[in-house]
Chains A and B, each alone.
Chain A
């Protein structure tokens, strides 16, 4: 929920543990304390999708969780994150967009030891889109006041016995009825792919089929729909850039179009009983579905450059519940 910096300062000084999100300049005015933060000026608030540089999004560490410790993770240390996650408990992780830590986590987190046995939730920090290229996304350690555009910041949190951190997602995209697309190599940039088993240049395929690249590639991972969003299609270089890596051995399809995001979102949640203590949604949903001023139920939090539910996700709302 968005709060004024004055209120946030008082809450920090009272000793509360918090996950924060906000513009870099406003985060720099905060006192040291039990908080971590990421830079971003886009939010889901009570009033709907909002762009604000004078307010801070605050998620208080939910009861009955307790802060165990805060630490930085460089790219070579991220594989330790599961081992450092308390049991029972969870880890809240923020990685700066385009940092080596972000790229490392995106490509390798699914293979980290015990990654799916310890709940890890979080997001990829960003900047105002107009500031891309002049400012870098950052993560912040509130304990020390340090800002980093290279490392991720994590708050490791404990839960009492019998309580579980449960991470869920709301992905409005499902695989469309089109071709099956697979990849023989992994990464954020793609030249060749296999379309229904035949080697094809992905850029040429997307252009020739006039595919709407606002729709992500979607993989059905045993019931969990995982998106990979398109960043750009370079017609000249015949290369496609993606916001998340594609993986070998996974079958993707271009997503079926989503009509009215807010209406379909509400329909989806009609029969769900979700009580999120944290949530974040993707900047691409905010932009493509024009969510400014529009409400997405009881989900409040940052609108981000990527979402973390164990592994990196794209164009997906991620939430945390304590059960």
Chain B
């Protein structure tokens, strides 16, 4: 089960403070791209935008991300 949108673990996952090697190919590619975006533009607005994308991805693919979700969020 994925946490609520304002759970601080989302932000930690986004910036790599929670280190996780995704099993899901699109998840790995997307987080890599989001982190590059934050390196280029670390503004709060961009952080929020990237966070929104990450959460939307998990909500959409909760079923196929089951292994990653269990490993990240317990």
Contacts and interface: CB of A to CB of B under 8 A. Distances in A.
Interface in A276-323: 309-311, 323
Given A117-B56, A117-B57, A164-B63, A221 B29 contact: yes
A6 to B, nearest CB: 37
B73 interface: no
B1 interface: no
A323 B22 CA distance: 18
Interface string B8-38: 0000000000001111011111111101100
Interface string B42-59: 000000000000001100
A212 interface: no
Interface string A109-134: 01100001101000000000000000
Interface stretch (A145-153, A165-173, A259-267): A165-173
Interface residues on B, range: 20 to 34
Nearest to B22: A223
Interface string A201-222: 0000000000000000001111
Interface residues of A, number: 25
B32 A224 contact: yes
A306 to B, nearest CB: 15
Interface of B: 20-23, 25-33, 35-36, 39-40, 56-57, 60-61, 63-64
Interface of A: 110-111, 116-117, 119, 164, 166-169, 219-224, 226, 247-250, 309-311, 323
